[in-house]
Amino acid sequence: MSRFKVAKTADIPPGQLHKVSVEQKEIVVVNIDGDFFAMDDTCTHAGASISDGKLDGSTVTCDWHGAQFDCKTGKLEKFPAKINDLKSYQVIIESDDIFVEV
């Protein structure tokens, strides 16, 4: 795995979703009360951008059809039919830099 600098901590306030591109992958970085998490930005149901969704606590709801994912793990929490979890990535903070391992 390689690590990539994706943002500064100040770029992503608490409760915000931030879309980045790393190695031709779209990834969403989430700030949950000062802790940062990263996962694929493409919903496994119909391809919507997760970063356009609504964040409530550590759960993001996809804007298109309401699929809900845990931002800490990428696991599907709620959807009428079974779809795949989102791949999650390790986040490393050094000083005020955010790195994602891909």
Q: What is the CATH number of the domain that holds 23?
A: 2.102.10.10
| Residue 9 Cα to chain centre, angstroms | 15
| pTM (2 d.p.) | 0.95
Q: Cα(71)–Cα(58) distance, rounded to whole angstroms?
A: 5
Q: 70 is in which domain, residue-wise?
A: 3-101
- Which position has the token pair 């992958």? 25
Instruction: Please report, in tens digits, the pLDDT of each residue of the chain (102 residues total).
Output: 899 999 999 999 999 999 999 999 999 999 999 999 999 999 999 999 999 999 999 999 999 999 999 999 999 999 877 799 999 999 999 999 999 999
**Side chain identity at residue 10, one-letter code:** A
